[in-house]
Structure 1
Amino acid sequence: MGILFFMFKPFSKVFFLIIMGYFLIKIVLSPPSKVTINVLLGCAYFAGAEILFRMTKGGIAYEASKYLVILFVLMGMFYKGLSGKGYPFFIYLILLVPSILVASVTLTFDARFRTNIAFVLSGPVCLGIAALFCYDRKVTFKDLNRVLAYMVLPIISTTTYLFLYNPSIKATLSGTASNLAASGGFGPNQVATILGLGIFIIVVRFFLNSPTLFLKIINLIVLGAMSYRAIVTFSRGGVVASIIIVTVFLGVLYMRSRSRKRIKMTVSFISMILIIMGTWTVSSNETNGLIDKRYANQNARGVEKKDITTGRVDLFKEEIEGFLSSPFLGIGASRVKDRRVEAGVGHLPSHNEIGRLLSEHGFLGIIILMILIIKPLSIYLKNKKNIYFLSFFCFWFATINHSGLRIAAPSFIYALCLLNVTYEKPPIHRKQLKH
């Protein structure tokens, strides 16, 4: 698909409509027992494909993937209902409303009210509705792995597209700042985020879903290619997030494995580390050592930068000032960006969802954060069957701190934390007695 989109970009729009129609029909025609998994597969595919469709302008709208995730889960609710225990996320959705009312008063006259509100709240609404659907919903571990597979396939297509769009990194080097050209002409932060998620899923498949040597080799090759493209975006957030969630996953997997399996894990881990080291060496050579300086927080001349967050701390401080100026109901949805436009610093959207929640929602934002953090953790303390829970939760938390909820992936991944994962019992073979 990456090759086709690069060679013939209009096909991206056609494919978007085809795949959207496919999942809509699949959900509508599903037998009751298959509705849940088909909804999750549709959401997973569009969450993974969102960046590719944005790069190639294939979506019917910029936020189309978020809207489709919302549509799919609403259809799932219609057919399968909801768990009454998920009421905290209904409260969460209600708490988002006052910021819209405040924004109707505080936004400047020339600000586009509808588009601005949709931009900042589409992510939180997507998260809330997906969480309502997934809360305590039973899914087998096998089906959850299918969901991850559906998500990583379009990310592999994105990786392919990036190699075709920008085959020579050296030709587009312009210092140690995030590289737009190496990111397919799209936002490096969002590209690195989705590639970081893809890296995690490939590592999962390498350790859990690669029964043959051939599959292990294929997954290592894909891992190397995906890691390379993530690194050369020069956007560190997505790469660091992937390192965190992969480390958490391997730690959980190691603790839950028996001694014999731990030995096999060690061999696989060494293979993975060798591939990553090789990928970093290639990345360093292709960028003339600039990527090393980027991660050392230096500019192209090797001088250390004062701010390791590339301005995010200043943006966060502005958001805290907004919270302090209106601590109860906040300054209103999208008002943070509106203030920056008034100050003449441009249309700078928030990079930190926590700061945005506090400034735009005030005290209600604190309640929202408490729901989002405490509820899934309380579920995990009672039921630790979901081996991916900590990785999913860390991905969501890391992403909202450097990229917000600009793409559907962190919202959907958060919802997957709330699933009730079950494991199929192996069949018992009883030897028949001979009479």
Structure 2
Amino acid sequence: MRLKAALHKNDRYIGLVLLHIVIGFAIFLFEPLSRLYFLVVMVYFLGRIILVVPSKKTQEVLLGCAYFAGAEVLFRMTKGGIAYEASKYLVILFMMMGMFFKGLSGKGYPYFFYLIALVPAVIVASITLSFDARFRTNIAFVLSGPVCLGIAALFCYDRKITQSQLLKVIMYLALPCIAMTVYLFLYNPSIKDTLSGTASNAASSGGFGPNQVSTALGLGMFAMSVRLFIKSPSLILKLLNLIILGAMTFRAIVTFSRGGVFAAIIVIAAFLWIAFNKSSNVQRGRLIGIFILFGIGILITWTISSTQTHGLIDKRYTNKNAQGIEKKDISTGRLDLFMEEIDGFLGSPFLGIGASRVKDTRVEISGNDLPSHNEIGRLLSEHGFLGVIIILILIIKPLAYRTTNRRNVYFYAFLCFWFATINHSGMRIAAPALLYALALLNVVHEKHPIHRKQIT
């Protein structure tokens, strides 16, 4: 009876998982369906946010944002979005709709300053960008992520949400990642046939950028880990979630892009550390039991990954090339890019060199069209002293909020995902902006209905 009750309680989750497996298959078989998929979910969430009762609008806004943050890379690799940055723009739109319907907390005023501090770099860029640079496109590319973070932080700051609602938001991060995982297995069923060394592998990443795919799958790994440890009441659900987690982990590993995998490890560790410390002795015993299952699953996944790549993945993660020779630069060139950005800051410490000027300068000097991989370095070089203020706001404000509100068990996990991602992939996707904002939510206790006996 317990098993039936658990399955019945989670049948909508199982149905959603099956639906997204079908979506992954359908998009692979007929890629133009990705555009229809994008339009359908966009209209669905817009309608839900507008029509749902006021008490549920916050949850609907966050669900819509979570879904598009999780689906962003899938839409990009299958050309499903109406624009390359469409998911970021929709997150901004949903958050602004949420502000219109639900208002916002005045305590989040530092994020107003944060958004205002982004403006001078645009003015500087209008003067400093080269003649050949596409001004609007370049500015949108580098500032859509930071603006998305600022708008999301304003809406989420001290916004009340229950634990079960937040768990549902995390589930909506995972669902499109399931569809993407299915698509990747169909696109590249044999890893052995696409091996070309230990460098990042686009062929095993759906023909798209391995860095972004790895980051998106790392997000899915975190979301599925939460589901495994917190929302898997039966053995069947534990095994289902472990299999999905293993599949995502395998696809993330074989992209040969380490950033998303390392970020996932850090985030899952932060989540488990807080969850363990906040648990009772009985709950800790349960977590330890699931962790053993989790560890076995990850070990099996790594063994399969190593076998499928003929040991090349082991060399990749020990910073060696295909011949087994250790590489000098573990950052694969990112450190050099960061130092160039610091030079830009030292050269223009007051207002910076201007938004998107880092990439523009590299084109002028070396002909390399390489965008920034580190958001900290980009903020310093392109925004100057204002970049320092922006970084301080982003780090200090959530930590200060944490001193008065400790109920969000995912706080450090969310913040770690943001920080880890912006230091290897910048803010190319909406996920780090959204998860940063989710760290600012005010998680409240569930309100259980009170049943009063009628007086007859």
Which band: TM-score by shorter chain?
over 0.9
Choose which of 94, 102, 108 in structure 2 pairs with 1:72.
94
Which of residues 244, 249, 256 in structure 2 aligns to 1:222? Answer: 244
Q: Structure 1: give runs of 5+ residues left out of the alignment.
A: none
* Structure 1 residues 153-176: Cα deviation after superposition (integer angstroms, max 9, x where no partner): 000101000000000000000000
Aligned to 1:18: 40
Residues 104 and 154 of structure 2 are in contact (CA less than 8 Å); yes or no, is this contact kept in structure 1? yes
CA drift of 1:430 comes to 11
1:248, CA displacement in angstroms?
Answer: 1.1
Q: Match of 1:417?
A: 439
1:311 counterpart = 2:333: yes
1:66/1:220 CA distance change after superposition, 3 Å? same
Which AA in structure 2 matches 1:45?
Answer: Y
**1:237 matched to 2:232:** no
Alignment root-mean-square deviation, CA: 1.4
Which secondary structure state, in structure 2, belongs to the residue aligned with residue 139 of structure 1? Answer: strand
Residue identity matched to 1:30: V
One-letter code aligned to 1:417: A
- Cα displacement string for residues 107-135 of structure 1 (whole angstroms, at most 9, x for unaligned residues): 00010000000000000000000100111
The one of 85, 88, 93 aligned to 2:115: 93
1:177-196 alpha-carbon deviations (Å, 9 max, x no partner): 00000000111111111111
Conservation of the 8 A alpha-carbon contact between 2:195 and 2:309: yes
| Residue aligning to 1:265 | 287
Q: Report the Cα distance in structure 2 between the residues aligned to 1:196 and 1:381, rounded to whole angstroms.
A: 28
Per the TM alignment, residue 199 of structure 1 is displaced from its structure 2 partner at its CA by 0.6
Deviations 1:55-109 (A, max 9, x none): 1100000000000000111111111111111110010000000000000010000
Q: Secondary structure at the match of 2:366?
A: coil
CA distance in 2, matches of 1:425, 1:117: 45
SS at match of 1:402: coil
1:345 Cα deviation (Å)?
3.5
Partner of 1:254: 276
User: Which range moved further: 103-112 or 337-346?
Assistant: 337-346
| Stretch of structure 1 that moved more, 262-271 or 164-173 | 262-271
Give 1:429 deviation, angstroms.
Answer: 9.2
Distance apart, 1:344 and its partner CA: 2.5
Residue 378 of structure 1 corresponds to 400
Query: Residue 407 of structure 1: CA displacement?
Result: 0.2
Q: Which moved more, 1:339-348 or 1:392-401?
A: 339-348
Is 2:173–2:219's contact at 8 Å kept on the other side of the alignment? no
Q: Which amino acid aligns with 2:428?
A: R
Give 2:158's match in structure 1, choosing from 122, 129, 136.
136
Distance 1:64-1:430 versus aligned 2 partners, 3 A rule: closer
| Rounded Cα–Cα distance in structure 1 between residues aligned with 2:101 and 2:303 | 51
Equivalence for 1:180: 202
Cα distance in 2 for residues equivalent to 1:401 and 1:166: 28
1:150 aligned to 163, 167, 172, which one? 172
In the other structure, the counterpart of 2:322 is: 300
Q: Tell me the matched-pair count.
A: 432
Would you say the 8 A contact 2:69–2:434 is kept in 1? yes
What is the Cα deviation at residue 250 of structure 1? 0.9
Write out per-residue CA displacement over residues 2-44 of structure 1, whole angstroms, 9 at most, x where no aligned residue: 1011001111111111111111111111221111111111101
1:107 pairs, out of 129, 138, 147, with 129
SS at structure 1 position matched to 2:443: strand
Q: TM-score, normalised by structure 1?
A: 0.98
- Quote the Cα distance in structure 2 between the aligned partners of 1:71 and 1:430: 42
SS in 1 for 2:112: helix
Moved more, 331-340 or 32-41: 32-41
Q: 2:387 aligns with which of 365, 369, 377?
A: 365
Question: 1:331 and 1:12 mapped to 2: Cα distance?
Answer: 39
Measure the CA separation in 2 of the matches of 1:430 and 1:390: 40
Q: For 1:421, what is the secondary structure of its paired residue? A: strand
CA separation in 1, counterparts of 2:408 and 2:272?
A: 14
Which residue in 2 is equivalent to 1:403? Answer: 425
1:328 counterpart residue number: 350
1:352 is matched with 374
Q: Secondary structure at the match of 2:403?
A: helix
Structure 1 counterpart of 2:411, one-letter code: F
Deviations 1:200-223 (A, max 9, x none): 111111111001111001001001
How far apart, in 2, do the equivalents of 1:255 and 1:425 lie? 24
